[in-house]
Structure 1
Amino acid sequence: MIPALFAGLCDDAAVFPPGLAPLPDAVAAHDTYKQAWYTDLVGPLVLAAPALDALGDLLGPRETPLAVAVTLPGGPDRLPGVLDAAKALPIDLQALEIAVPDGMGPAELLDAISAATAPVYVEIPRDDRRLPLLRALAGTSHRAKFRTGGVRADLYPGEAELATAIRAAVEAGVPFKATAGLHHALRNTDPETGFEQHGFLNLLLAAGAPEQAEALLAERDGEVVAARLRELDADTARARFTSFGTCSITDPLTELAALGLLPRGEA
């Protein structure tokens, strides 16, 4: 049984770095997750737009459509093609994750994504476009996407920067997801790279208490984090922080169990 606080928290980003699972393997694994006891933890399979071209032959006839989120890292230009492809496939398009091209303003972006038939997560740049974009998304059905890591240390925003972004999203009333670099439940230092990595549970706490976001993002004590989570207003926190992308579903499952937040025996 997955508590409501964690329902749909883990978007399956197995095909992206560092996982880089082949598409057939990722689809097969995702189908397995959706039959497991922890199915409620798992969100859609996240795919880049070009992967849709390979899904037709791969999926074949299905009783249950494959739940997917599609990324458009080049911006909304490919959106019409993605929507057309989705109509012809046995998939349930649950989200679109769209980057903002350089030079595209908020008004132009909103116009470009107006035809979307699924929730749109706009990837918020780490520059002075952040606040104007979040303010433009306020009052719409669109959401924000924050990058929280990558293959270089400078791609990981510090606690202060990420806390500022979270507070801005909360103040604008814009739900957000996070992606990249969230390899563990807790704030940590990667032993191989030395990168300072955010924890997905730290983000969850920060979403629930944005006025304390910077301190909560820095917390590394599992007992402290678990205790704070048990006191968290789950509905409020999850309305703000919808999910995060992870290359592994089993790793978050195991870490949640180790913190006593899921039954150990089942993980």
Structure 2
Amino acid sequence: MIGKTTVLAMIFLTVSMTIATNTAMVYAGVICPDDHTANGDGTCTFGYVNGVHEGVASDSGTGSTCTTTRTDYNANSNLFNRATTNTNYPDCSVHSYKFDISTIPNSATITDVSFKTTIGAPSTGDNCNIKAIQFDPITASPSDLWDDILNGTAYLTSDNICNGAGTKTRDLGTSADSDLQDALTQDWFAIGMATDDVPNRTSADIWVQSSSPQLQVTYIPPNLFEEIENLTQENQQLQNQIASVNATVQDNTSQIDYIYTEWTKIKNAIVDWLTDRP
């Protein structure tokens, strides 16, 4: 006869083998999802993964500031801030980059967020700002997205990421860590990028070729054994609630039975009284 301890051990072994088969790592009760890198220190790394760019441009015009007409600009991911008017190009353009983070567990703890992009040979380089995005870039109106890109929390301010050609990588800092943590339940994270002077126009034409936006996230995944313990506690709470409901139903049933019995006695007494009347 197999004892309870043996059965529990067999169940635990089966669960452990299933987890090991379907995840990249089991480390001290911590798991990394498939396609995420196990770092060997209890953390996982997601990415670098490609993003989707969504741009906004202002129409060509004159003056010291970018024109106020906003249009979608997704033909490329170039960042413009032009001093001269050229009908072939917008006076100013800004871009957002949206990343799918749905494979990061919602209960993970974010420890680092990095951004990587390739800067082509610009006609004139400039420093850039990278900021938080509140709205979904894909569904936001051009006007809302323009404001969002320029007004969000600054991750990088006047950074030389846009100066000079090459593949550039930047740690976006603790504010990005916190924002991505909050974004886990919505399954996407986005940032905005613009040259330093926008919405003011510069004295020389600025043209930055930014492409191949990528994101990397390092995080502490939920502890497997803690998750099992939490599920066990939740299950016990549910069982207690069910038991309480059952007890209430049983008590109500007993009361109903008592009322029915007493009513039957009264009814029978009335029938007997009516029957015995002369």
TM-score by length of 2: 0.23
Return the index of the structure with the highest Cα Rg.
2
Q: Which has the higher contact order (CA 8 A, sep 6+)?
A: 2
TM-score by length of 1: 0.23
More strand by share: 2
More helix by share: 1
